[in-house]
Amino acid sequence: MRMKCSQILMECLLEQGVDTVFGYPGGTILNIYDEMELHGYKNKIRHILTAHEQGASHAADGYARSTGKVGVCFATSGPGATNLTTGIATAYYDSSPVVFITCNVVESLIGKDSFQEVDITGISMPITKCNYLVKDPDQLADVVREAFAIARSGRPGPVLIDIAKNVTASEADYEPLPVSEHGRHGRLGAMLRRSSHDLKTPEPDYGDIEKLLSMIEEAKRPLILVGGGVIRSKGAVPEFRRFFERLGAPVASTIMGGGACPGNHPLFTGMIGMHGSHASNIASSQCDLLIAIGCRFSDRVATDPATFASQAKIVHIDIDRAEIDKNVQTDHHIIGDARRVLELLNEKLPAHDYPEWKEFVFSHKEVPFVQDGILHPHEILETISDVTDGQAIIATDVGQHQMWSAQYYHFSRPGQLVTSGGFGTMGFGLGAAMGAKVGNPDQTVVLCTGDGCFRMNCHELATVEHYHIPVIIVIFDNGTLGMVRQWQHLIYGERYSQTDLDRGPDFVKLAEAYGLRGARAKTQAEFEAALRTAVNSGEAWVIDCAIDKDAMVHPMVPGGAPATEFLLD
């Protein structure tokens, strides 16, 4: 049937099961927004109008991470599109499946420095799995279908579709095509085959599986390191838990692996790396076999690649061959989806136990630092856990509060921690929390943020209020850029250049200005009372928690140093 391409786009979104879009309109994308009104698509797909395109990008990302679905974001050309780039990069570094749809000027004006024209496909090329500039109306449906396939397949990630405005006003033939039929559709099938490097997950080599099983048999001090790849792989977490419990070895985690191993599990050593636990970092230096699953060995994990796990044979399991030996040289690797690799290992792995090794590792577990008379970060996280029975989805921004959240909230399932681990995006949290709540309306969503981060996108409180999105915002308010101050204190001779936040706003009054509820807390009792009220109200709240300006994240390993050279114990 013939229909306008703006309508074809909406039909293709429905084919993909899209129920929510986050976005912000503008001149070049108006045909698509008009289509939502003309044919009732607004009743089939919920549109969340954010205060800024960056907020929309983070919301679509938070939706994707917490639901496992593909997030969708709309924006117009020029500054609308470029305002997405931070969100696109955030999704790219953490392998989050989001389809970003922008519209550009009409084809005849492309390349002429037209009003609000920008080459967003060129800009976004390094931070997307794939991107498209659609100039041919007949290709739009297949491009949209391929984009979703690429975003969700293999190692997930963001895809951008830029559509010339004249295409959205043109007509083309459209026939409904269920997702299950996409691979057999003529032109689309050919497109998907050309994209096979993005879509096909390699079957693990059985010889590689056998070799790892032999290495396990020889090991006396194995350590498992779990990363975000286990979280992103559908169905991998149950297989992972079966694997590490059968192996009986200690389990460390990157921040993106949070929730793969329950935080209160007796085999869990905590986070590894720059702000990793003593148990995790010391175990990495003393193990004789390190099995890393779905992690990138970034500089925040392998702080000194040359000495990382120097006594161990390192085995890297990853879906992306490009990650193998990129940062840390390995002794063995297995290419494949985490779930499938773990399935094959579990079929043949006998039960093991390493009592002396575990006794050594867990003798290094920390006790939280406590200072009487003030509200300490670990008390905030432990209170959130108690009040929500440890079931809340925790979104974070980036900095000290992010590290404290990873250390003190015991995540128990995939998608429970929504954080920017790879790109480290300040301002990510509020949009991501909104997206997580929209995607999980029956779950409590708490944003843990710092006063510096929250300022960056606090205008999204307007979105929270208008759409009645009941996220609870907990501000770790120390009046400074806390993580930067910590570095200045420890490394830069206490020269606190441009990190004091000795200015407004009053966060409680800001919440009230947006029509939301706010509270202050200076003690654990005050915070618990405010949090219980917020949770029971079913409304959005802002809770401003006063913490010590010099509270620090313990431990800390300086960048470039071996994992056991703790600058701060």
Closest CA to 457 of 54, 44, 28: 54
Q: Which two tokens stand for residue 493?
A: 């001779």
Q: Are residues 407 and 535 in the same domain?
A: yes
> In degrees rounded to 5, what are phi and psi of residue 214?
-65, -40
Q: In what order do the strands lie in the sheet with 332-335?
A: 268-271, 251-253, 222-226, 289-293, 313-318, 332-335
Kindly tell me if the per-residue pLDDT of 196 is higher than 60: no
- Please identify which of the residues 115, 125, 234, 366 carries the catalytic annotation: 115
- Please identify which of the residues 191, 483, 552, 556 carries the catalytic annotation: 483
Q: Is residue 17 part of a domain?
A: yes
What residue ranges in 5-109 does DSSP mark as E strands? 20-23, 46-49, 71-75, 98-104
pLDDT averaged over every residue in the chain? 95
Cβ 533 vs Cβ 470: under 8 Å: no
Q: Which residues fall within 8 angstroms of residue 99, CB to CB, at 6 or more apart? A: 70, 71, 72, 73, 144, 147, 148, 151, 158, 159, 160, 161
Q: 171-173 and 2-4: which strand pairing? A: antiparallel
Q: Are residues 232 and 169 in the same domain?
A: no
Count of domains for the chain = 3
pLDDT digits (tens, 9 = 90+) for 403-445: 999 999 999 999 999 999 999 999 999 999 999 999 999 999 9
CATH code for the domain in which residue 134 is found? 3.40.50.970
CA angle, corner 131, sides to 9 and 437, nearest 5? 65
- Give the model's pLDDT for residue 201: 82
- Please identify which of the residues 11, 15, 35, 53 carries the catalytic annotation: 53
Q: Are residues 191 and 146 in the same domain?
A: yes
- Give the model's pLDDT for residue 180: 81
Q: Which two tokens stand for residue 119?
A: 């080459």
Range of the domain at 23: 2-199
Q: Are residues 157 and 275 in the same domain?
A: no
Q: Which of 362, 391, 423 is the last residue of a domain?
A: 362
Q: Is residue 370 part of a domain?
A: no
Q: Are residues 491 and 343 in the same domain?
A: no
Q: Which of 362, 388, 412 is the last residue of a domain?
A: 362
Q: Are residues 355 and 382 in the same domain?
A: no
Kindly tell me if the per-residue pLDDT of 473 is higher than 50: yes
Q: Which two tokens stand for residue 56?
A: 């929309």
Q: Is residue 559 part of a domain?
A: no
Q: Are residues 347 and 244 in the same domain?
A: yes
Q: Is residue 510 part of a domain?
A: yes
Q: Is 115 a catalytic residue?
A: yes
pLDDT digits (tens, 9 = 90+) for 246-299: 999 999 999 999 999 999 999 999 999 999 999 999 999 999 999 999 999 999
The residues facing 545 across adjacent strands are 476, 521
In DSSP notation, 292-307 reads EES----TTTSSSTTT
Instruction: Give 110's pLDDT tier (boundaries 50, 70, 90).
Output: very high
Cβ 233 vs Cβ 337: under 8 Å: yes
Q: Are residues 404 and 526 in the same domain?
A: yes
- Please identify which of the residues 129, 165, 313, 358 carries the catalytic annotation: 165
Closest CA to 154 of 339, 347, 332: 339
Cβ 50 vs Cβ 18: under 8 Å: no
Q: Which two tokens stand for residue 143?
A: 């491009």
The residues facing 23 across adjacent strands are 49, 74
The helix (H) or strand (E) run that includes residue 361 is: helix 355-362
Instruction: Give 197's pLDDT tier (boundaries 50, 70, 90).
Output: very low
Q: Which residues fall within 8 angstroms of residue 517, CB to CB, at 6 or more apart? A: 511, 534, 537, 539, 540, 541, 542
Q: Are residues 17 and 130 in the same domain?
A: yes
- Give the model's pLDDT for residue 42: 94
Report how far residue 501's alpha carbon sits from residue 556's, in angstroms, rounded to the nearest whole number.
23
Q: Are residues 140 and 218 in the same domain?
A: no
Q: Is 456 a catalytic residue?
A: no
Closest CA to 200 of 191, 208, 192: 192
Q: Which of 300, 330, 362 is the last residue of a domain?
A: 362
Q: How far is CA 547 from CA 49, 261, 340, 477, in A?
A: 34, 30, 45, 6
Q: Which two tokens stand for residue 16?
A: 């993909």
Q: Are residues 445 and 493 in the same domain?
A: yes
Greatest alpha-carbon span in the chain: 72
Q: Is 371 a catalytic residue?
A: no
- Give the model's pLDDT for residue 569: 65
- Give the model's pLDDT for residue 198: 52
- Give the model's pLDDT for residue 181: 81
Q: Is residue 85 part of a domain?
A: yes
Which has the higher per-residue pLDDT, 522 or 366?
522
Q: Which residues fall within 8 angstroms of residue 76, CB to CB, at 6 or more apart? A: 24, 25, 26, 27, 28, 29, 102, 103, 116
Q: Is 116 a catalytic residue?
A: yes
Q: Are residues 437 and 415 in the same domain?
A: yes
- Give the model's pLDDT for residue 195: 61
User: How large is the angle between the packed helices 53-67 and 85-93, nearest 10 degrees?
Assistant: 20
Whether residue 555 is preceded by a cis peptide bond, meaning omega within 30 degrees of 0, is yes
124-144 average pLDDT score: 98
CATH code for the domain in which residue 308 is found? 3.40.50.1220
Kindly tell me if the per-residue pLDDT of 107 is higher than 50: yes
Instruction: Give 185's pLDDT tier (boundaries 50, 70, 90).
Output: low
The residues facing 9 across adjacent strands are none
Q: Is residue 367 part of a domain?
A: no
Q: How many CA atoms within 13 Å lie on the side-chain side of 265? A: 23
Q: Which of 80-89, 199-208, 289-298, 521-530 has the lowest mean pLDDT?
A: 199-208
What's the pTM? 0.95
- Please identify which of the residues 116, 215, 360, 526 carries the catalytic annotation: 116
Q: Is residue 556 part of a domain?
A: no
301-329 average pLDDT score: 96
DSSP 267: T
Q: Is 165 a catalytic residue?
A: yes
- Give the model's pLDDT for residue 182: 79
Q: Which of 186-195, 357-366, 405-414 has the lowest mean pLDDT?
A: 186-195
Q: Is residue 89 part of a domain?
A: yes
The helix (H) or strand (E) run that includes residue 450 is: strand 445-450
